[in-house]
Chain A
Amino acid sequence: MNNLLIPSSTALRVGTRALLRLSSTSAANSNRIWIGRSAFRTQSPARIRKLTRDFCSRSVPDVRRLAETARITLTPEEIEEVGPKIQQVLDWFGQLQAVDLENVEPAIRADTEGDNLRDDVPEVFENREAIIAAIPSYEEPYIKVPKVLNKE
C-alpha cells in the first residue's frame, strides 16, 4: 500500500512501480518483459522492441485488477481518476521504447558506479520507540495483525 500511495524519491521509481502493477494485468509474458533489460539478453533487439511495443499499445489499464494486486481498495471515483494518470505513465514509457538501442550493450543496472557496501558491524537504531509508536496495532512485544493462515 505504501508503494503506491507514498511518493518515491524519483519520478523513474514511480514509473517503474506503476509499470510493475500494470504488468500483472496483461498476458503472462509481460511479467518477463518487465523484469528488466537483463531478461532481454536472450532476445534479439528487434524482438525486444516488438514485445515492448505490443505491451504498450495493447494496455488499457485495468485499474480494478491493479488495485486488487496491490491490496488497496479504490472507490469508483478514484478508479475514474487514476486510470488516465496511469495511462500517461505508460505513454512516457512508450516514448522511451522508441529510442534506438540497436548498438547498445544491455546493462544489468543503470547505476554501476562502484560498490556501495557496508561492513558487518552492528549499529542499534536509536529511535525504536518512534517506530513502535507508529505501528497501528501493537501489543507488547508483538505487532498485532488480523489472522492470516495462507500466503498468496
Chain B
Amino acid sequence: MASTLCRVIQFHTHHFFSSPAVLFRRNKAGMMYCTMKSTQSPDATRELKMPQAKVAPDNYRKLDKVTEGFEAVIGLETHVQLNTVTKAFCSCPYSYGSQPNTNICPVCMGLPGALPVLNAKVIECAVKLGLALNCKLAFASKFDRKQYFYPDLPKGYQISQFDIPIATGGYIDVDLPLEFGGGHRRFGITRAHMEEDAGKLLHTGNSSFSQVDLNRAGVPLLEIVSEPDMRTGVEAAEYAAEIQRLVRYLGISNGNMQEGSLRCDVNVSVRPIGQLEFGTKVEVKNLNAFSAIGRAVDYEISRQSLLYSKGQGDEVVQETRLWDEGSQKTVTMRKKEGLADYRYFPEPDLPEVILTEGYVEKIRQSLPEIPEAKRRRYEEMGLGMQDVLFLANDISVANFFDTTVAKGVDVKLAANWIMGDIAAYMKDEKVSIGEIKLTPDELAELIKSIKDGTISGKIGKEILFELIAKGGTVKGLIKEKDLVQITDAGEIEKMVDQVISENPKQVEQYRGGRTKLQGFFAGQVMKMSKGKANPAILNSILLEKLNSSS
C-alpha cells in the first residue's frame, strides 16, 4: 500500500518546486487537453500542508538584494541505498518496513568471529552508476574501516571506501526547471564509492532511552560526492533530482527520499565575488525533499551573506546545521572541533575489488538510455522542453511514451494524451502508469483511429477512460458500443433538421444575433448522435441551415 502510494507520488515528481497547477490548452482539433505543467514533488505530502513553503520568484528577488556581491559554492553528498535483495556483506534479506531486528545475523550484528563476504551485485550497481556518471573506474579498489561509536553501528566501524573509491572524476548533466528559467548545466562528480548503511536509531518521547533497529545495518549504499559546482538552491535541488532519476533509470535503487533510500547532505559556503578561496563551509542535513534542498540552500546563502555583509563573518563557522521544515530555517546541530578522526584503515577481512575490462564492457553495453540522453532525443523529436522534462522525468512514463511512439503515431499527439488525460487520471486515482489498464499499443491504436476518422476525438476521449480503468482494445470497444463516427452528411443533416425544428425559440434568438447559440445546437446534435457525428461536417451543415433559412 505504502509502495503504491509512493510510486504515485513519485510519478508526479516533475520538478521540486511546483504548484499543482493544471493548465488547459486547446489543440488544433478543438479538443481540450488538460496538461499538468508540473505537480508536487515526491515528498510533497508535507509540503502540501505548508503552502507558505513555496519559493516564489518574489523570494528570489528578495534574496538577490542580501546576496548581492556574494557567490555561493555548493556541493552535495548523496547516499543511495541499493535495491539488492540481500545486504552488502551478509546474506540477510532486507526490505523496508520489516519487523524491527528481524533481518539480522552475526555479520551485520558485528558479533566476534563473523566475517563479511561482498555481494557481487553491489559491485555491479557501482559500476553501472560510475559509468552513467561518466567516471573513471578503479580496476582495483578496496574497502576500509571508518571508526566511530554510535548505537546504530554494531561493529564500531563502518565498512566504506576511503582513499581508493571505485569511481572518480565524472559529471552529470541536468536541465533546470522551466519555472526557474530553465537552462542546461553540467556538474562535476568527485567520486562514488561503496559502503554499508547503519541501523536506525529512534528517539521516542522524553524517555532516557533510545530504540535501535538493526535491519538496515549492512545494507549497501553508494555515496556520490559532487564537485562544489552549484551556485543556487535550484541547481542543488535539480542535481539531487537528477541523481534520483538516474538511479531509477539504472534500476539500482528506488531513490525514495521518504524511506531514506536517497539522502542528501549539502555543503554551502559563501564568498565575495572575485575571491578565489572558498568561504567557511556549512553542512546542512535533514533534507527530506528536493524542495527542502532548494530552500535550505537559499536560506543558508542569505544567512551567510547577511553575516558577511554586516561584518560578522566570524559567526559563520564550520558546523552541521539541520533544516527545520516547520520554521523554514536551518539550526545549529553541532559545531565541528577540527575534523572528525575516523582512523581509517584497510578492511582486513575483505579482499580488494578487482574489475576486468570484459566485465566493465559488458555492463557498459547493458546500460539503459540515461535521462540526459532521453531528454536530448525527445528534443530532437521536436517536443517542447516542457513535454521533454515531463516525459523523461519518470522512467515508466518515458517507456510508455517510447513504446507508443514506436507504433508509428504522431509524437506530439502521444505526448498530449499521456501528459493530459492519462496523467490526470493517474493523479486523481493515485496510480502509477504501470498500474493503469491501458497499454501503449492501445493508446497508439486510439490515436490512429481518431486520425483516420474512424471515431471522433470526443468518443476517443470517452474510450480512453474506459481503456484506462477496465482495459480492453480500441477495436473491441468501437465494435461493442457501435462508436464508428458518422460521416454520412445525409444522416447528420436529418439530425440537424430535427434539432432546429425542436428548438424554435433558440433559432429565433440565433437569427436575432445571438450567434453564440451555435454551440448549443451543435451540442444537441452531438447528443442525438451519441457523440458520433463528425464535428466538421456537423458544423458546416448546421451553419448553413441556421444562416440560410432566415
Contact = CB atoms under 8 A, between A and B. Distances in A.
B164 A108 contact: yes
Given A24-B341, A109-B352, A117-B117, A142 B140 contact: no
Contact of A152 (B111, B140, B156, B340): B340
Interface in B79-108: 84-86, 90-93, 99-102, 104-106
Given A36-B346, A39-B163, A143-B212, A152 B351 contact: no
Contacts of B147: 20
B213 interface: yes
Contact of B346 (A38, A114, A145): A38
Interface in B97-150: 99-102, 104-106, 109-113, 117-121, 123, 140-142, 144, 147-150
B210 interface: yes
Contacts of B117: 116-118
B86 A122 contact: yes
Contacts of B465: none
Contacts of B151: 143, 145, 148
B348 interface: yes
A57 interface: no
Q: Which of A6, A120, A128 neighbours the largest number of chain B CB atoms within 10 Å of its CB?
A: A120
A23 B342 CA distance: 11
A131 B118 CA distance: 22
B352 to A, nearest CB: 4
A36 B211 CA distance: 36
Contact of B100 (A2, A118, A141, A152): A141
A120 B124 CA distance: 11
B340 A118 contact: no
A124 B353 CA distance: 26
B104 to A, nearest CB: 6
Contact of A145 (B121, B210, B343): B210
Nearest to A149: B203
B27 interface: no
Interface in A8-37: 9, 12-13, 16, 20-21, 23-24, 31, 34-36
B351 A122 contact: no
B277 to A, nearest CB: 21
Contact of B344 (A31, A119, A145, A148): A31
Interface residues of A, number: 53
Nearest to B199: A143
B501 interface: no
A142 B214 CA distance: 9
Contacts of B99: 141
Contacts of A12: 348
Contact of B106 (A24, A125, A144, A151): A125
Interface string A35-70: 110110000000000000000000000000000010
A144 B102 CA distance: 15
Nearest to B140: A108
Contacts of B333: 150
A9 B144 contact: no
Interface SS of chain B:
loop
B334 A150 contact: yes
Nearest to A9: B113
Contacts of A6: 112
Interface in B329-380: 333-334, 340-341, 343-346, 348, 350-354
A132 interface: yes
B162 interface: yes
A16 B147 CA distance: 13
Contacts of A128: 102, 104-105
Contacts, number: 165
Contacts of B162: 35
Given A125-B92, A144-B209, A38 B101 contact: no
A73 interface: no
Nearest to B334: A150
Contacts of B104: 125, 128, 131
B148 A151 contact: yes
A100 interface: no
Contact of A148 (B100, B113, B150): B150
A108 B450 CA distance: 65
B202 interface: yes
B147 to A, nearest CB: 7
A143 B353 CA distance: 34
A88 B154 CA distance: 29
B120 A119 contact: yes
B84 A112 contact: no
Contacts of B142: 36, 38, 108-109
A116 B343 contact: no
B338 to A, nearest CB: 9
B351 A111 contact: yes
A115 interface: yes
20 contacts: A1-B156, A3-B156, A16-B345, A31-B344, A113-B351, A118-B118, A122-B85, A122-B86, A123-B92, A131-B105, A141-B213, A142-B101, A143-B212, A144-B212, A146-B209, A147-B203, A148-B210, A150-B334, A152-B148, A152-B334
Given A121-B85, A145-B151, 18 more contacts: A21-B343, A34-B343, A108-B346, A117-B123, A122-B85, A128-B102, A142-B202, A142-B211, A142-B213, A144-B209, A144-B212, A146-B208, A147-B203, A147-B207, A147-B210, A148-B150, A148-B201, A151-B334
Interface of B: 84-86, 90-93, 99-102, 104-106, 109-113, 117-121, 123, 140-142, 144, 147-151, 155-157, 162-164, 201-203, 207-214, 333-334, 340-341, 343-346, 348, 350-354
Interface of A: 1-3, 6, 9, 12-13, 16, 20-21, 23-24, 31, 34-36, 38-39, 69, 71, 108-109, 111-125, 128, 131-132, 139, 141-152
The 5 A-B residue pairs with the shortest CB-CB distance, nearest first, are A125-B105, A122-B93, A142-B211, A123-B91, A120-B121
